Amino acid sequence: MATDRIRREGGVACPDGFASALYDSLQVGVAVFDDAGRLVRANRALRTLYQLSDADHTVERLIREGLADPEGTVLGPVHHPVDRALRGETVDCLSVRIVVPDGQARHADVNARPVLAPDGGTIGAVAAFRDTTMRERAARFRRCEALVARALAEATTVSDVGPALVRAVAGTLGWPHAQLWLVDEVADVLRLAAQWDAPGRTLEALIPPTIERGWGIGGTVWDTGEPLWIPDLLHTDQVTTSNFPERARRAHTVGVRAAVAVPVRDGRRVLGVLTCVADHREYNGERLVAQLGGIANQVGHFLSRRRADELASELHRSRDDFRALLRAFERDGAAARAVRHDLLDLAALEEGVAALRSAELDLAAVVAASVAALGPSARASVRVSRPERLRLRGDAARLRAAVDALLGAAAGGDLYVRLTGEPGVAELTLIGVGALSDDAAGPDPSTPVDAALGLRLALAVVRAHGGTVRVSTRYHPDVTFTVRLPVDGPPDRPLRD
């Protein structure tokens, strides 16, 4: 029989144990077929490539039916390397995609040769598979890093690039889900900045609105600052959250098998977490963590650069404020005395030594009072959206002064005021349409020092309450102020009663 004939090498019969030892010592996967295309032998390296045990007899079907070109088109008899070899062809370095049961597709280069009898007839074929999965993934990650770097260089905010970022990462991995979470310093939680799900797939029912430090996969990475690779979600003790096993079982029902998450850093500080979810068990986590870490580092550099730009802009404004003060001092001693108290108050707030009168207050009422105090023409152009009540603990007088200053800076045209509440955080957005145009009414131009100091004091007051103020002039001459305040006061600086 042809099967017996191809057990001979060079016309010399080889003991079966010798052949098995020889095949299994090779680092490349080897498959031997008889002249009818039936599998005679598959070595251990080939079974490892397919993630099959020595007792699994499906390897023949997988080789015959599970080879595809790099784009995923299954190879038929015309193009299949074994069939080509059985027809007498020599196949060198054919790039193929290997479909793996319950696993991610792998890549290999295949060489195939006909096995010839002494009379020149073909009595079988031998195919050798060299695993190129890591090489292919590394090449895709290099392309992904280049795309992400270009996108981040052109972006001004995470919202500009976040969706494209997670889509690129998930596409590079060939995984169905990816998410970018960023630290909300005011609420002290992780918030979802961007996510991508493969068509027809969704994790909406499993994704919480926020993640607390130490909770689940993302919270664990945030808390420890270390990457986390879970090859099989159903069998792990790496996440200590009490309800994680139940959540893992729920995830398993929608096809989630493995996950990897890496921190997004600014030096030692964790700014966010990049999480990717797989629909198969993943056993190459160490290299994957390193590759994803490169993407996360790019995001971290982008966030650092954005913060540096904001600090530079703030320094520039401070320098302008100081120059305006000097001019005021030169013109009018009375003006200098009038701003002296505000300057001392500003310094005390920024140094963290100013007393804040803490009490329960209604921020919605504070905003309503500030709007009502605007001049008649300004009030006519204001559109306000706010809840009836929004509880917050803080210094009502100082917060009222801060809102007054921000409203004054945004006035000049149509003015939109929106106050919203979410768990643990109050957010006030002020949009001044045309506020930066040359003909905008704005604050009284005769008091530039007061206006500048008012804005600086507003920023200091919000920060003293544990909040943040973001200023956007992206759509110049419009200006947008976004104020976020923790409703229970700053976590690291208790307000004084």
Return the CATH architecture of domain 136-305. 2-Layer Sandwich (3.30)
Backbone angles phi and psi of 384, in degrees to 5? -120, 135
More confident residue, 378 or 422: 422
Q: What is the pLDDT of residues 123-164, one digit of tens each?
A: 999 999 999 988 888 888 888 888 888 888 888 888 888 898
What residues contact residue 171 under an 8 Å CB cut-off, 6+ apart? 144
The answer to whether 2-131 and 136-305 have equal CATH topology is yes
Calpha distance 20→16 (Å, rounded)? 6
Is 407 within 8 Å of 428 (Cβ atoms)?
no
The first and second tokens of residue 363, run together, are 């921020």
For the chain, the 3-state helix, strand and coil shares in percent, each to the nearest 5, are 40, 25, 35
Q: If DSSP codes are grouped into helix, strand and coil, which group holds residue 7?
A: coil
Count CB-CB contacts under 10 A for residue 297.
15
CA angle 116, 119, 122 (to 5 degrees): 30
Count CB-CB contacts under 10 A for residue 330.
10
- In this structure, the chain runs to a length of 497
Which of 18-27, 77-86, 131-140, 205-214 is the most confident on average?
A: 77-86
Is 405 within 8 Å of 438 (Cβ atoms)?
no
Report if pTM > 0.75: no
Distance (Å) of CA 423 to CA 186, 206, 393: 11, 19, 14
Strands (E), 333-466: 359-362, 382-385, 391-394, 415-422, 425-432
- Average the pLDDT over 91-119 and give the result: 88
Q: Which ranges of 225-356 does DSSP label H, i.e. alpha helix? A: 244-253, 285-331, 333-351
- pLDDT at residue 288 tops 60: yes
Looking at residue 366, its pLDDT comes to 95
Q: What is the pLDDT of residues 191-217, one digit of tens each?
A: 999 999 999 998 888 899 899 999 999
405, HSE (Cβ side, Cα atoms, 13 Å): 24
Which of 41-50, 82-91, 171-180, 486-495 is the most confident on average?
A: 82-91
Strands (E), 185-298: 189-197, 210-211, 228-230, 258-266, 269-278
Looking at residue 495, its pLDDT comes to 47
Q: What is the pLDDT of residues 213-260, one digit of tens each?
A: 999 999 999 999 999 999 999 999 999 888 899 999 999 898 899 999
Looking at residue 14, its pLDDT comes to 45
Looking at residue 228, its pLDDT comes to 95
Looking at residue 10, its pLDDT comes to 39
- The answer, yes or no, to whether the previous bond of 245 is cis (omega within 30 of 0) is no
The sheet with strand 425-432 has its strands ordered as: 382-385, 415-422, 425-432, 479-486, 468-472
DSSP state of 145: H
Q: Which CATH superfamily is domain 2-131 in?
A: PAS domain (3.30.450.20)
The first and second tokens of residue 33, run together, are 């077929």
The first and second tokens of residue 121, run together, are 């007839």
Looking at residue 332, its pLDDT comes to 53
Calpha distance 62→64 (Å, rounded)? 5
- pLDDT at residue 85 tops 90: yes
Chain position carrying tokens 């790099």: 70
Backbone angles phi and psi of 359, in degrees to 5? -165, 160
Sorted by where each begins, the domain ranges of the chain are 2-131, 136-305, 332-486
Calpha distance 438→441 (Å, rounded)? 9
The first and second tokens of residue 285, run together, are 């986590």
Which of 101-105, 319-323, 348-352 is the most confident on average?
A: 101-105
Is 275 within 8 Å of 260 (Cβ atoms)?
yes
**CATH topology for the 332-486 domain:** Heat Shock Protein 90 (3.30.565)
DSSP per-residue letters across 236-252: --S---TTHHHHHHHHH
Calpha distance 93→1 (Å, rounded)? 30
Q: If DSSP codes are grouped into helix, strand and coil, which group holds residue 485?
A: strand
**Residue 322 region by backbone torsions, left for phi larger than 0, else alpha for psi between -120 and 50, else beta:** alpha
Is 140 within 8 Å of 172 (Cβ atoms)?
yes
Q: What is the pLDDT of residues 404-453, one digit of tens each?
A: 989 988 887 889 999 999 888 999 999 988 777 655 555 444 455 566 67
* Chain-centroid distance, C-alpha 212: 17
C-alpha torsion angle, residues 139, 145, 147, 150 (rounded to 10): -150
In terms of C-beta distances under 8 Å and separation of at least 24 residues, what long-range contacts does 491-494 make, across chains too? 491/188, 491/466, 492/466, 493/352, 493/464, 493/466, 494/358
